[in-house]
């Protein structure tokens, strides 16, 4: 009897193993018979790299109209697949999200972001999850957003006062907003402002460093794709990255030192900011699976927060105001809405935002036309898979063309028009969200590696746009007409304006509102 049971058990196990083997073989055979996604023929050695042009998101959008919403490129030795429709993006970022949770190697993460020790480019795993959780609790949770609401209000008020300064010239909107965002973020992260009033030398240098970082991070560096070219650095990208990293490293060391001095002077009281928490954890493991947190880990995370956290918000607010200047009817309607809720005796408060649906629609429409990250940060296939009837090989790099998806005429009627009404009740996209669940518009990405700071970023864009719209009337410098305002894009990791917005701000509220 025991022998019979053993025989039966052996037969079952053998059958199960045979089934798994046949299934795996069948799957492998089927994947080998699936075609690769279509795409343009590339050059020898360089592949399609020379075809990307100065604005790769636009080039790839044009290629998708020829080859379809899933196309394949060969950049040097690297297979790259590009998703340019909502359905294909959902297949990658929802259905196959786990398979595309890691980043491919790249020189920016190595030479700027402390050799992958930051949150944005860190390998997916326990350490990444622990860092993300730390930021979520102290910066991005609903409680943290509410706790720091007064900080955003105070810095927005300081921005409004700075725009009241007398002078004949126009305002460099992006620079002013960048100071406001950096100070609001710094107070949440480290308990103090990093810039004084107005646009000082340090503030201008910081803005320039952030723009340079985003430009370099958006470059398709030949050394990342063609073996043997890395040491030559033919574009000079790596040397620029190393130089910029040294500047950032000195700035972050200074921030940490000054924070420590400030904490000692305060006697350790009220030290609940993120930097204090991280310094307190230095030398300790974040959890059972992660290594000890180091000073480099702290600087890498600060680099993420101050670079990505300021630039994406600043550029989006700048785009929003530019669109409103071009569309005075929309600007006037937004002002009427805010006046009806807030009045003219005070500035907008953080708590007013939920009562401003038209303002929220303006922000959504701005994210649609001008997503802060036009091409998603790259992901890499851990295993080969099938998407939309095509074979995606293991190790392939995934790029999601967020810019093309949100301008897809199949999903968006009159996609090139600025029409916030499409998001209002009764509009064709009234129920579309921008938080990564509706793939027609994913300015923050989607899936496991969705932007960690999405909640804070969205709140900041809404709040600062509302403040600028409510507190001021806006006109362009003499000789410029709104219809002809330059709306050209400058490509980088984030979508900058090719020509920074300069405009005149005229106060429209009671004087007491600005005090």
> What are the structural domain ranges in the chain?
56-514
Distance CA 185, CA 156 (A): 12
Distance CA 507, CA 172 (A): 16
Work out the burial of residue 39: count CB atoms within 10 Å of its CB; fewer than 13 is exposed, 13-18 middle, 19 or more buried.
buried
Find out whether 359 and 462 touch, Cβ atoms under 8 Å.
Answer: yes
Residue 263, pLDDT score: 74
Largest pairwise CA distance in the chain: 101
Sheet with 379-380, strands from edge to edge, namely 70-75, 78-83, 397-400, 379-380
| DSSP tag of 228 | T
Architecture of domain 56-514: Orthogonal Bundle (1.10)
Q: Whose CA is closest to 461, among 353, 305, 301, 375? A: 353
Q: Hey, CA dihedral for 460, 463, 465, 468, is it positive or negative? A: negative
Instruction: Provide the pairing of β-strand 397-400 with 78-83.
Output: parallel
pLDDT tens string for the chain (515 positions)?
444 333 333 443 344 344 444 444 444 444 558 999 999 999 999 999 999 999 999 999 999 999 999 999 999 999 999 999 999 999 999 999 999 999 999 999 999 999 999 999 999 999 999 999 999 999 999 999 999 999 999 999 999 999 987 555 789 999 999 999 999 999 999 988 988 765 678 888 998 999 999 999 999 999 999 988 889 999 999 999 999 999 999 999 999 998 888 776 665 544 478 999 999 889 888 776 777 889 999 999 999 999 989 999 999 999 999 999 999 999 999 999 999 999 999 999 999 999 999 999 999 999 999 999 999 999 999 999 999 999 999 999 999 999 999 999 999 999 999 999 999 999 999 999 999 999 999 999 999 999 999 999 999 999 999 999 999 999 999 889 999 999 999 988 899 999 999 999 999 999 999 99
Q: Helices 454-471 and 357-369 sit at what angle, rounded to 10 degrees?
A: 110
| DSSP tag of 401 | B
Write out the binding residues.
451
Residue 203, pLDDT score: 86
Residue 292, pLDDT score: 84
Find out whether 323 and 418 touch, Cβ atoms under 8 Å.
Answer: yes
- When computed from its CA atoms, the radius of gyration of the chain, rounded to whole angstroms, is 25
Residue 301, pLDDT score: 95
Q: Whose CA is closest to 262, among 191, 185, 179? A: 191
Take residue 82 and report the two structure tokens written for it.
């590009």
Q: What is the pTM of this model?
A: 0.91
Work out the burial of residue 100: count CB atoms within 10 Å of its CB; fewer than 13 is exposed, 13-18 middle, 19 or more buried.
buried
Write out the binding residues for heme.
451
Neighbours of 432 (CB within 10 A): 18
């Amino acid at each position: 009897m025991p022998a019979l049971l053993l025989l039966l058990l052996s037969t079952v196990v053998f059958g199960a193993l045979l089934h798994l083997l046949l299934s795996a073989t069948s799957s492998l055979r089927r994947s080998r018979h699936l075609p690769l996604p279509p795409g343009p023929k590339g050059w020898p050695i360089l592949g399609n790299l020379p075809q990307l042009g100065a604005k790769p998101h636009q080039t790839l959008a044009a290629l998708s109209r020829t080859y379809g919403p899933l196309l394949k490129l060969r950049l040097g030795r690297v297979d790259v697949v590009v998703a340019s429709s909502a359905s294909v993006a959902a297949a990658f970022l929802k259905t196959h999200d786990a398979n595309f949770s890691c980043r491919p190697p790249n020189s920016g993460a190595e030479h700027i972001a402390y050799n992958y020790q930051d949150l944005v480019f860190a390998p997916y795993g326990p350490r990444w999850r622990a860092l993300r959780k730390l930021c979520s609790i102290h910066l991005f949770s609903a409680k943290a957003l509410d706790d720091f609401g007064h900080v955003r209000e105070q810095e927005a008020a300081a921005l409004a006062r700075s725009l009241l300064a007398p002078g004949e010239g126009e305002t460099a909107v992006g620079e002013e907003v960048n100071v406001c965002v950096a100070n609001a973020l710094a107070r949440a992260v480290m308990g103090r402002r990093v810039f004084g009033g107005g646009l000082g030398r340090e503030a201008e240098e910081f803005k320039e460093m952030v723009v340079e970082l985003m430009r370099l991070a958006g470059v398709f560096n030949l050394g990342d794709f063609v073996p043997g070219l890395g040491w030559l650095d033919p574009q000079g990208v790596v040397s620029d990255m190393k130089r910029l990293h040294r500047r950032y490293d000195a700035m972050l060391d200074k921030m940490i030192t000054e924070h420590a001095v400030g904490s000692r002077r305060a006697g350790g009281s009220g030290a609940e900011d993120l930097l204090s928490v991280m310094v307190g954890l230095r030398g300790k493991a974040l959890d059972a699976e992660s290594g000890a947190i180091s000073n480099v880990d702290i600087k890498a995370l600060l680099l993420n927060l101050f670079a990505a956290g300021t630039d994406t918000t600043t550029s989006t607010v700048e785009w929003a105001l530019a669109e409103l200047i071009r569309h005075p009817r929309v600007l006037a309607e937004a002002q009427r809405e805010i006046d009806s809720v807030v009045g003219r005796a005070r500035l907008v408060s953080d708590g007013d935002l939920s009562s401003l649906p038209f303002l929220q629609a303006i922000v959504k429409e701005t994210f649609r036309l001008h997503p802060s990250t036009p091409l998603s940060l790259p992901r890499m296939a851990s295993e080969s898979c099938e998407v939309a009837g095509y074979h995606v090989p293991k190790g392939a790099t995934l790029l999601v063309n967020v810019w093309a998806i949100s301008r897809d005429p199949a999903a968006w009627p009159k996609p090139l028009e600025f029409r916030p009404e499409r998001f209002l009740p009764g509009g064709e996209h009234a129920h579309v969200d921008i938080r990564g669940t509706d793939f027609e518009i994913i300015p923050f990405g989607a899936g496991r590696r969705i932007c960690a700071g999405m909640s804070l970023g969205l709140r900041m864009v809404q709040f600062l746009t509302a403040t600028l719209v409510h507190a001021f009337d806006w006109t362009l410098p003499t000789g410029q007409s709104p219809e002809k305002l330059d709306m050209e894009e400058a490509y980088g990791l984030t979508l900058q304006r090719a020509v920074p917005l300069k405009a005149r701000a005229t106060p429209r509220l009671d004087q007491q509102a600005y005090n």
